[in-house]
């Protein structure tokens, strides 16, 4: 564990320097909009979801409007995000639960959020960390799964286990931003199919650098071992800005 903590601290430090503006890339104005956007982000992109929600939130400005929406019409409204039938049901049913059980307000606890239709731990972490500033857990999406595995911070492919592996490695106050840094790194450098190991600021101690540089493999490149390699010196760089995130299978809770 001490070795992993040292490595995680070095990862966090270098990615903070590399991506000083790491942030959620979904657009939202309040907790409810972020909740809906995150549900729609399953197996989609932030860019695509932001395009859809721009008009969606004008048409349905609050939970009551979503709750009273026509299902067929909602399917058309969210079609561009993919899996539109499941997503349309999810956002309508989630909104109904918020109106009926919580007076139209998004609950602010993990326990209450995961009781909402279509909301799992990942989505709840997104909302709690980014809309309410509460570090209850670490968001584990496809990028966090890939990057943390390649860095040897976890040996699991299960998001629940990965989250439990990562939480003891970084200070609680850093949980939300640490996930953003891993996501930024996954989107900009540690790509699934062809990671840019050559320009990676972590390449001097990443246990997967030889594997991924020669033979990119999203799932199998979880790295040699969490115990191999210790960090050495750091390296700098650049970045971008916005306001809000995304996920996976809408029929299940994410």
Active site members: 122, 141
**In whole angstroms, what is the distance from residue 160 CA to residue 121 CA?**
8
Count of beta carbons in the 10 Å neighbourhood of residue 29: 12
Report which of 122, 111, 20, 107 is spatially closest to residue 63, judged by C-alpha positions. 107
Angle (CA) 167 176 220, round 5°: 60
Query: What helix, strand, coil percent values describe the chain, rounded to 5?
Result: 55, 0, 45
Say how many residues make up the chain.
Answer: 254
Question: Are the C-beta atoms of 254 and 248 separated by less than 8 Å?
Answer: yes
Report which of 240, 226, 252, 248 is spatially closest to residue 6, judged by C-alpha positions. 226
DSSP 215: S
Q: Which residues are CB-neighbours of 100 under 8 A, at least 6 positions away?
A: none
Give the tokens for residue 165.
């592996």
**In whole angstroms, what is the distance from residue 120 CA to residue 253 CA?**
4
């Amino acid at each position: 564990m001490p070795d992993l903590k040292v490595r995680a601290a070095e990862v966090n430090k270098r990615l903070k320097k590399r991506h000083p503006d790491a942030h959620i890339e979904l657009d939202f104005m309040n907790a409810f909009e972020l909740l809906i956007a995150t549900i729609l982000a399953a197996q989609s992109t932030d860019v695509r979801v932001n395009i859809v929600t721009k008009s969606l939130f004008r048409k349905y400005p609050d939970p009551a409007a979503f709750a009273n929406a026509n299902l067929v019409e909602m399917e058309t409204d969210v079609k561009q995000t993919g899996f539109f039938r499941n997503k349309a049901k999810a956002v309508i049913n989630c909104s109904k639960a918020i109106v009926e059980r919580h007076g139209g307000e998004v609950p602010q606890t993990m326990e209450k959020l995961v009781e909402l239709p279509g909301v799992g731990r990942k989505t709840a972490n997104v909302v709690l960390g980014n809309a309410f500033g509460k570090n209850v857990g670490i968001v584990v999406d496809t990028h966090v799964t890939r990057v943390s595995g390649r860095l040897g911070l976890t040996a699991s492919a299960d998001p629940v286990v990965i989250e439990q592996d990562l939480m003891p490695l970084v200070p609680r106050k850093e949980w939300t931003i640490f996930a953003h840094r891993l996501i930024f790194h996954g989107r900009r450098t540690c790509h699934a199919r062809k990671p840019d190991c050559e320009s990676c600021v972590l390449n001097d101690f990443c246990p997967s650098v030889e594997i991924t540089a020669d033979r990119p493999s999203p799932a199998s490149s979880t790295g040699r071992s969490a115990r191999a390699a210790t960090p050495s010196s750091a390296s700098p760089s650049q970045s971008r800005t916005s306001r809000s995130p995304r996920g996976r299978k809408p029929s299940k809770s994410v």
